[in-house]
Structure 1
Amino acid sequence: MLQTIKNNNYLSVLILFLVLVSCDSSRVFDKYSSISNGLWNKEDMVSFTFSVNDTIAKRNLFINIRNNNKYPFSNLFLITQMNFPDGQKIIDTLEYDMADKSGEFLGEGFSEIKENKLFYKENILFPIVGDYSVTISHAMRKNSEVNGIKNLEGITEVGFRIEKIE
């Protein structure tokens, strides 16, 4: 009897996991890279490689940032580079709000970790079939200082996501 209950519990957990994973029908690509010790060195670029087979459907691209309470700023500057299969590159400098005016971190999450899903590019078409890559690095610096912050504290993971537009 006890063994049957344990088997049912395992089966219930497996079914719940499969339901939660399968509910994300808009996901085309979704990966994360952990930042060692929550200290993102300005020289450490986070890279993601993905294949494109569809040059007709538009997509939305997101950068996902997980931060903890040690993150010392209300914004985040990122430098991104998208590399195309034919060698073309697009480099962007982006700024995102990480906290509201009262200092409360934005994003989802009940613990000290907040997850921010940040728009990178909207309604884009990938023009060429093949392998693309995106690299992301931070470009944070303190006000009136020329040199950037070497180790940015409080960023625990950086992710990249591509979604279908329904």
Structure 2
Amino acid sequence: MLTTTLQNSCAAFALLFLVCSCDKSRVFDEYKSLNGKWNKDSIVSFSFDQKDTVSKYNMFINVRSNNAYPYNNLYLIVQMQDPGTKLVKVDTLEYQMANPDGTLMGQGFSDVKESKLWYKEKVNFPKAGKYKVSIQHAVRKGGQVPGVEELEGITDLGFRIETTE
């Protein structure tokens, strides 16, 4: 009986190690929960330490959405602040979130889909230190100037950095 328990524990540990070690390109990967609604004034921020200023990296914004998301596209304002400075790089980005028939794009088997959206490709960090990325939605209804107050259907927002090698 003890041998079976030990074998099961070893098998579970080996499986956990295998799953965790498969993602060798990941440098940073973090999610923040939005509980299905994202207020237009809510800024989601991620901070990370970067020591390597030579290698190239790809950066992604990961969005988990569900069928309550009412739009085809997602507009984001993304700011990245370099360490030790007030220098902020701002990008306004647009991503397609739904197919022409209205079904959500992305990976997943349930009504929650995860979309891995390109932010920056093959970039290097100019200096070592703590970087901060801030993301805010900028979705508007067609023909209207004010932004959507409560963007429904976004459950989680993530930020990921991967090596290019």
Fold-level similarity (TM above 0.5): yes
TM norm structure 1: 0.94
Give the Cα separation in 2 of the matches to 1:121 and 1:56.
Answer: 16
- Residue 84 in structure 1 maps to residue 82 in structure 2: yes
Stretch moving more, 117-126 or 15-24: 15-24
Equivalent residue number for residue 130 of structure 2:
131
How many residues matched?
A: 164
Give the Cα separation in 1 of the matches to 2:135 and 2:4.
Answer: 47
Give the Cα separation in 1 of the matches to 2:49 and 2:19.
Answer: 25
Instruction: Provide, for residues 32-90 of structure 1, a one-character-per-residue CA deviation record: whole Å limited to 9, x for no partner.
Output: 0010x311111111100011111110100000000011111111000110001122110
Stretch moving more, 4-13 or 125-134: 4-13
Give the Cα separation in 2 of the matches to 1:142 and 1:13.
Answer: 49
Counterpart of 2:60, as a letter, is F
Q: CA deviation at 1:10?
A: 3.9
Q: Determine helix, strand or coil for the equivalent of 1:20.
A: helix
Counterpart of 2:71, as a letter, is F
Q: Determine helix, strand or coil for the equivalent of 1:18.
A: helix
Matches within 5 A, 1:43-82: 43-82=41-80
Gaps of 5+ in 1: none
Q: CA deviation at 1:9?
A: 3.4
Counterpart of 1:144, as a letter, is G
Equivalent residue number for residue 105 of structure 2:
106
Counterpart of 1:125, as a letter, is N
- Identity rate of aligned residues, in percent? 51
Q: CA deviation at 1:26?
A: 0.3
Equivalent residue number for residue 38 of structure 1:
36
Q: Determine helix, strand or coil for the equivalent of 2:58.
A: strand
Counterpart of 2:45, as a letter, is S
Counterpart of 2:22, as a letter, is C
- Residue 11 in structure 1 maps to residue 5 in structure 2: no
Q: Determine helix, strand or coil for the equivalent of 2:23.
A: coil
Q: CA deviation at 1:4?
A: 4.7
- Residue 24 in structure 1 maps to residue 52 in structure 2: no
